[in-house]
A and B are shown apart, each in its own frame.
Chain A
Amino acid sequence: MAEHGIEGLAAARLWAVTRFPYLATGVFGAQVIADRGSGTVSVDESWRMHADPELTAGWTAAQLGSVLIHHVCHLLRTHGERAQGTGVRPDEAADWIRAADAEINDDLVPAGLDLPGRPVLPRDLGADDGLLAEQYFDGIRRRAARAGGGGRAGSQDRSASNESPGTARTWLDCGSGADGIPRPGQGDGGLPRWQIELLRRQVAQEVMAHGKQPGTVPAGLLRWAEEILAPKVNWRAVLAAELRRAVAEVSGAVDYSYRRPSRRSAVAGPVVLPALRRPVPEVAVVCDTSGSMTEDLLAMVLAEVEGLLRALGLARQVRVLACDTAVAPAQRVSSARQVQLVGGGGTDMGAGIGAAAALRPRPAVTVVLTDGYTPWPAAAPKGMRVVVGLLGDGAPEAPPWARSVRVPAH
């Protein structure tokens, strides 16, 4: 740690971890390297900061400490990786960094970050606080397209915000840790990926521990830590897996049949082998259409179910039942939007499942889409697998005999 050669770094770090104690592990975990002549302070994705000592010499401990905190937040929030995921082109990198800066600064600047120059805040981008970098970036892209397509609208955007050129951030380039575009000459080294992951978890745990006293940790950082420690499950992947599993177990519950001899009979000599028979399962979808359901969410999940079943080659077998306390007759729908929510108070999914079981041919798999505020049958319906999609936040539990998938509202 002594090789960094940057004046005042120790004092800056000390200022940073005194002001933001919950980020201490992150601040000390990042390696700082002097990079003479670069004219900026930047980070790479291996948790190394490259700082130009001539630039930082003019800063106070608080300013350099704030820049360290700011960059650690770029790394904690994996802005580099997310930029690649968003498809940020090299010519858009400056815009992405402004969006990423806004995500960090919106609650850290009020918490006492003292950045040199004028920090980018969401209101400079014409957006509200508390959004993600992707959302800010989308806003910039859309405004650029509106401002007169094609050209470098991003630069117009920059002059439109009220940053006067003189005080504009002199450390504009936050580096590959912020935009995911490799910089030349930074080479191998730094922390390996798995250690970065451990480091981020450690910081998240410390943020949560400090967050137990209300008002000490900015809300945006707390949300980040919660997300790291208990990541949201991708409901699409879970729904797909549950549906595949349900269909597989039904169509995999193969009967041995002597109606057709096995193709292996030729080698089996006098033994007669049965052939495998693979029933194609019928699938029914029961939709809760009571007043408490959200139409958009239902349409989205239904579209997802249809897409999955089509991928399994079962789309023609799907019948959709609308159900609140009574069950509407089964309808074959070609688009999810055709399902109408009739509204009305009560819900009884038991009636819907019963109606599905009464269909002929009888469905082997029933998908129930509901907000969960419903009575359920006490036991599983006979000979039918049930997958329950629980729509919306805070839906009550589904019964244990069904496989359930939670779909959050956002």
Chain B
Amino acid sequence: MRAQNPAVEALGVAVAARVPVLLWGAPGTGKTSAIRAMATAMGLPCETVIASIREPSDFAGLPIVVGDEVRFAPPAWARRLAEAGRGLLFLDELSTAPPAVQAALLRVVLERAVGDLTLPDEVAVVAAANPPEQAADGWDLSAPLANRLCHLAWQTEPRAVADGLAGGWSAPVVPVLPEGWQAEEILSRGLVAAFLHVRPGLACAPPSNAAAAGRGWPSPRTWEMAARLMAAAGAAGAGDEARSALIRGAIGDGAGVEFLAWMVEMDLPDPERVLADPASFRLPERGDRAYAALAAIAAAVAADPTPARWTAGWQVLGLAADTAPDVAAVAARVLAKCRPPDADPPAEIHLFAPVLRDAGLL
């Protein structure tokens, strides 16, 4: 069985976490049917509202006179969702909705308020849109509305289409969030907070041009959304690809990539701790991570080359030389250059002689 499309997986996590999500994709690529199938699989009632043929008052409530006051009556779809107590509100064709309708949608998307009625917390909001350049009469999303949604790119894989046509479309797998998953949100919030201490400029960076404003961008609200999505993705056991799509969808590609790169770096062993206890060192499996870890350790030794640290550095390289002689040899060359005057030649040096000779470096 083929692995599930990461976009579908990400969609499932966002729906389960009740974070408003928006699918961007060309017309005819199955966004609508995927969302309906997901609602069926989750056993949620699904209300479809096509935003582009609605008026602002359909979302802000229709004014009616009751006695001597004017109330804003919610439309029937909102009342049905409120009565069911849970469900999926699907806003289709969001990018073809005129700006006035988009403004009216602001409260619906984030606060789930339709006129005088507030939808229950258990109602998930999902939207779909065609990129403005592909829709005949598309508008870019306004920056405030875009900032309330997690943006996912909907791409079709030719192979999945071929499989689906031949053997029927597979129903999306719905992630199940275990009870009390929100507890993990504290951890992911801490991670976001640590990152924003390093890069305060990314805490709030509204986009400078109108095209970028229609997608995710970093703001306090979207960082909070990203933390919630990370916790949900972790609890649901979603794949890395889906998690990365959710984070980038919430805070935008630029900030998202920086945040992900920072998290990858956080996974590397701390050089000082390794030098204090070389035997504890475990070489990361992937070559580039192993290189980053060993280069950091060699750089830490070179920055403060005492005999004890220098010897500890060689011990680490000795552990790595067996599985990754080439990676370790690069770091060994750095260490060899910063030998403290009173240090003895290390025993590990002979491990690197063959590979250095083969590479023509001796």
Interface residues of A (CB under 8 A from B): 1-2, 8-15, 17-18, 24-31, 61-62, 65, 188, 192-195, 197-199, 201-202, 233, 237-238, 240-242, 244-245, 248-249, 252, 254, 264, 267-271, 273, 276, 311, 403, 405
Is A268 within 8 A of B63, CB to CB? Answer: yes
Is A241 within 8 A of B211, CB to CB? Answer: yes
Interface string of B111-149 (1 = CB under 8 A from A): 000000000000000000000110010111000000000
Q: Assuming A194-B240, A194-B260, is B288 touching A238 (CB within 8 A)? A: no
Is B209 within 8 A of A238, CB to CB? Answer: yes
Please provide the chain B residues from 260 to 300 with a CB less than 8 Å away from any CB of chain A in the complex.
260-261, 264, 285-288, 290-292
A118-B285 Cα distance, complex, nearest whole Å: 35
For B326, list chain A residues within 8 Å (CB).
9-11, 13-14, 17, 28
For A30, list chain B residues within 8 Å (CB).
287
A31-B333 Cα distance, complex, nearest whole Å: 23
How many residues of B are counted as interface, with CB atoms below 8 angstroms from the partner's CB atoms?
Answer: 53
Residue in A28, A62, A198 whose CB lies within 8 Å of B360 = A62
A249-B140 Cα distance, complex, nearest whole Å: 12
User: Which residue in chain B gives the minimum CB-CB distance to A203?
Assistant: B288
Is A2 within 8 A of B323, CB to CB? Answer: yes
For A198, list chain B residues within 8 Å (CB).
257, 260-261, 264
Nearest Cβ on chain B to A20's Cβ, whole angstroms: 12
Q: Assuming A11-B326, A18-B361, is B99 touching A24 (CB within 8 A)? A: no
A242-B245 Cα distance, complex, nearest whole Å: 27
Is B257 within 8 A of A201, CB to CB? Answer: yes
Residue in A1, A254, A264, A267 whose CB lies within 8 Å of B287 = A1
Q: Assuming A1-B324, A233-B209, is B257 touching A25 (CB within 8 A)? A: no
For B292, list chain A residues within 8 Å (CB).
25
Interface centre among A26, A197, A241, A267 (most CB of B within 10 A): A241
Q: Does B349 contact A (CB under 8 A)?
A: no
A268-B57 Cα distance, complex, nearest whole Å: 12
Is B355 within 8 A of A240, CB to CB? Answer: no
Interface centre among B70, B285, B323, B361 (most CB of A within 10 A): B361
Q: Is the interface of B mostly helix, strand, loop or mixed?
A: helix
A264-B326 Cα distance, complex, nearest whole Å: 76
Q: Does B64 contact A (CB under 8 A)?
A: yes
User: Which residue in chain A gives the minimum CB-CB distance to B241?
Assistant: A192
User: Which residue in chain B gives the minimum CB-CB distance to A17?
Assistant: B330
Residue in B57, B70, B248 whose CB lies within 8 Å of A264 = B57
Q: Assuming A14-B355, A194-B260, A198-B264, is B133 touching A267 (CB within 8 A)? A: no
Is B65 within 8 A of A188, CB to CB? Answer: no
For A271, list chain B residues within 8 Å (CB).
63-65, 70
Nearest Cβ on chain A to B206's Cβ, whole angstroms: 14
Q: Assuming A28-B287, A197-B257, is B240 touching A237 (CB within 8 A)? A: no
Is A10 within 8 A of B240, CB to CB? Answer: no
Q: Does B3 contact A (CB under 8 A)?
A: yes
Residue in A2, A14, A197, A273 whose CB lies within 8 Å of B361 = A14
Residue in A9, A193, A199, A269 whose CB lies within 8 Å of B64 = A269
A18-B359 Cα distance, complex, nearest whole Å: 9
Residue in A12, A24, A192 whose CB lies within 8 Å of B291 = A24
Nearest Cβ on chain A to B57's Cβ, whole angstroms: 7
For B62, list chain A residues within 8 Å (CB).
264, 267-268
A53-B250 Cα distance, complex, nearest whole Å: 46
A14-B294 Cα distance, complex, nearest whole Å: 14
Residue in B140, B239, B356 whose CB lies within 8 Å of A14 = B356
